[in-house]
Amino acid sequence: MHLFVVGPPGIGKSTVAPLLAGMLGASVVETDRAIARRARKTTARRSARRIASECVSSV
């Protein structure tokens, strides 16, 4: 079974997901962390680079 918890930042997805997983006997994968681990970068670093490149390309 796969269950996706989605929504805007700050509404408690990371708080609710482990609670649901515990009730359902499942595990939690936080996609931001999984992507950062694979890329060896943080989400903030990726976002900063994207914003910087957008600023440079718009000049």
DSSP state, residue 8: S
Encode 12-47 in three state secondary structure.
CHHHHHHHHHHHHCCCCCCHHHHHHHHHCCCHHHHH
Instruction: Give the model's confidence band at 22: pLDDT under 50 very low, under 70 low, under 90 confident, else very high.
Output: very high
pLDDT > 90? residue 52: no
In angstroms, rounded to a whole number, what is the distance separating the alpha carbons of residues 20 and 12?
12
DSSP state, residue 11: S
Highest mean pLDDT among 9-18, 36-45, 47-56: 9-18
Say what percent of the chain tops pLDDT 90.
20
Domain ranges of the chain: 13-57
pLDDT > 50? residue 59: no
48 or 59: which carries more pLDDT confidence?
48
Q: 6, 1, 49: which is closest to 31 by C-alpha? A: 6
